[in-house]
Amino acid sequence: MTQATIRPRPMPQVRPIGYDDLGEAFRAGVSDFRRAPRFGLFFGGVYVLGGWIMWLLLSWVQAPWLMLPLALAFPLMGPFVAVGLYDVSRRLAAGQRLDWASVLGVVFAQRKRELGWMAFVTLFICFVWFYQIRTIMVLTMQNMSFSSFGQFLELVFTTTEGLTFLAVGTLVGGFLALVLFSTTVVAIPLLLERDRDFITAIITSVKAVTTSPAPMIGWGLTVTALMMVSILAGFLGLLVTLPVLGHATWHLYKRAVAPEA
């Protein structure tokens, strides 16, 4: 083959989706969790453990003000934990046998693939979010002091400065969350399934959101709301919420991105 006959690999094709696709994807996620509950509970348990460690670390470093922004950003890290769940759904759809060695092997193999760059992108956006929230807190709450998470919440919800901080922080955080969601919602399952670069995956993910903005943003809000409620229950709700949503996201990706030719 000569250089003139080499053609660039085409971009993944994005398909429009509707609210009925969200319902079908969610039902498929519930079905996958029921078919392979031990894998779902395992990966959900990893997420619960991560939440507990986060809580203990923030208590140890006496930074209670970080609890709220971290709790808001925490659900957005789910796709990385859900890589194993994506592989379980993929194997179930293909009729392949499920075993721990194969599923965990796929998860650990991602460190040598493009998913590592997606982790860098996510951490960078989260770092910007934490920096912005600290800046907003200094500008709005100024010299107001607190020594516990309870006192921090009291200041936020009972003072004018705190409510201003909450309003501005929510707007900034919502924008950054939309950016992070748009760049990862189908990028991570695509990188798991196909041998593509992370730039292609990000472009495809953003295109999927812009092609069907209302359903995709609605899905992002649903995921965030369900996971936030699960976090309020001492993170224990994530044992079920995370695997169901992880499986469902895989099925949503399969509906939003056409099979590779």
The alpha carbon dihedral of 240, 246, 252, 254 has a sign of negative
Report yes or no on 232 lying in a domain. yes
Report H helices in 98-256.
Answer: 100-109, 115-141, 149-158, 160-184, 187-193, 198-211, 213-232, 238-256
Strand partners, 257: 14
Q: How many domains does the chain have?
A: 1
| Spatial distance between the Cα atoms of 63 and 125, rounded to a whole number of angstroms | 20
Question: Is 8's pLDDT higher than 90?
Answer: no
The whole domain housing 202 covers: 54-256
Assign 255 a pLDDT band (cuts: 50, 70, 90): very high
Calpha distance 183→7 (Å, rounded): 26
Cα angle for residues 218, 221, 224 (degrees, 5° grid):
150
Alpha carbons 83 and 79: distance in angstroms, whole number: 6
Show the tokens assigned to 108: 């650990």
In this prediction, residue 22 has a pLDDT band, given cuts at 50, 70 and 90, of very high
- Residue-wise pLDDT for 25-82, tens only, equals 999 999 999 999 999 999 988 888 877 877 777 767 666 556 555 655 555 555 667 7
Decide if 90 is inside a domain. yes
Grade residue 1 by pLDDT with cuts at 50, 70 and 90.
very low
pLDDT over threshold 70, residue 4: no
User: Average of pLDDT values for 234-250?
Assistant: 89
212 domain-assigned: yes
**Does some domain include residue 156?**
yes
Within-domain flag for 141: yes
For residue 243, pLDDT over 50 is answered with: yes
User: What is the 8-class DSSP label of residue 258?
Assistant: P
**Mean pLDDT computed over every residue of the chain:** 83
pTM: 0.84
Query: Using CA of residue 76, residue 78, residue 83, residue 89, what is the dihedral sign?
Result: negative
**pLDDT digits over 83-140, tens only?**
889 999 999 999 998 999 988 888 887 777 777 777 777 778 777 877 787 788 888 8
